[in-house]
Structures are given as structure tokens and as C-alpha cells.
Homo-oligomer: A and B are copies of this chain.
């Protein structure tokens, strides 16, 4: 019903404003940022806030800071990591970039089977029980929003159970990205969420240590959602999709 009041610090505001200007090519790669003191005047904040924002841009690989020289904008496609994905998917006006969305779908489609495979190899009955428990709750779910959250919990458990740290970190980055379009995904992926049967079969495969069976379950499960998502995106071919 009620949602938390969003509060952002000044340095957050500095960071996001500059990041958005960079990813929108308003500040192209190779261009110079104004000096810290000038930025203070332009943004109307103190130097500490500007410095914190710039340091975070540097950490994100979007700029390089040199003492004595100007701060340079880097090519974010070459320097930034997966954590930039949420900002690339949705721009400041709330438009979703279709090309980015397709990229994410593809990555999910590629990783999901191997996550399931490795989970079956290393998860054991403990993981299988955990998955079964989530499946049970999904069977009883009435609300689609609940179902969506539980489907996510299922994958979170699977990734944890895979014991693959790289997958887990990538999954975290993807989660933050999904959250930006969470409500849109709810309707689009509804059929995938309701495909509890396949998730149950996947859990069984995990229990039996059937790696290839688990991978096949994962493949067929995410195929549903990927197809639905691509169908939605096809309507907007290479355009931008206005989010509600």
C-alpha cells in the first residue's frame, strides 16, 4: 500500500546525474569534466559531495581522475562492469532500451542451464529439499506478485546451491537490473512463473544428481519466459519501451 520515501544523498545525486549524462552520450568518451570546484558551482553543492560522486564514477570505470589534470570520461562499454546494467536498461525518462533487454534475456538463457547443471552436481539433497519447499509454496500461491517473488527465490537458491561464486555475483547484478522493471516482468513472464511443474522436475533432478536432466529442465523453463519477453520486445523493434 505505502512505499518507503526515497531519500538520496547529494553525492548520490551527483553520481547519478553524471552517470546518466555519460551513458546517454551527453558526456561522450574522451571529453573532459569540469574541475571539482567548477562542478560545485554548477551543481550547487559542496566539494565533498562532488568528490564522493566522482570517486564512485571512477570505481564504476566511467571516468579516470588524475591529480593536476582534468577528469576524463571513459568509454563505459569498455570500462564498466555488469553493475552498470540497471542504468543502461532504463534511462532517466523511464524508457527501456530494447537492445539491452534482449542482451539480458540471452544471458539468462545461456547461464540458466549451467547453473542448474552445477547445482545438480553439487547441491545434494539439502538443496533439493529447499527447492521442493519453495515449489510447494508456489503451488499454493494465488497472487501473481507472490509467485514472481517465489520464482526468484527458487533461482536464488539454485544459484547458491551451485557453489559457483561467479554465477552468484552475476546473479546479484542481474537481480538489481530485474528490479528496475519488476512490474513489467510480472505480466510478461506470468506463464513462466506458473510453470511450477518444470521447477518441481528440476528439484527432483537436483536430488538425483542428474546434471543433464536439470540443465534440460532449466532450458525448457526459461525458454517460455524468454520467448514471451522477446515477443513483447518485437513490437517495439529497436525502439524504446515506455515503462508504466
- The quantity of this chain's copies bound in the complex is 2
Chain A interface, number of residues (Cβ within 8 angstroms): 42
Residue from the list B48, B55, B82 in contact with A81, Cβ < 8 A = B82
Closest to A156 in B: B78
Residue A79 is within 8 A (CB to CB) of chain B in the complex: yes
Q: How far is the CA of A115 from the CA of B163 in the complex (A)?
A: 23
Residue A42 is within 8 A (CB to CB) of chain B in the complex: no
A65 to chain B, nearest CB (A): 9
Q: How far is the CA of A207 from the CA of B239 in the complex (A)?
A: 28
- Asked whether, in the complex, the Cβ of A110 is within 8 Å of the Cβ of B111, the reply is yes
Which chain B residues border A172 with CB–CB below 8 Å?
61, 78-82
- Asked whether, in the complex, the Cβ of B82 is within 8 Å of the Cβ of A169, the reply is yes
Main secondary structure of the interface of A (DSSP, over half): helix
Residue A51 is within 8 A (CB to CB) of chain B in the complex: yes
Closest to A15 in B: B59
Residue A223 is within 8 A (CB to CB) of chain B in the complex: no
Interface-forming stretch among A26-34, A99-107, A197-205? A99-107
For window 37-66 of A, CB contacts with B under 8 Å fall at 48, 51-52, 55-56, 59-61
**Can you list the 10 inter-chain pairs with the closest CB atoms, starting with the nearest?**
A81-B173, A81-B83, A103-B166, A107-B166, A82-B82, A110-B114, A103-B165, A103-B164, A82-B169, A52-B55
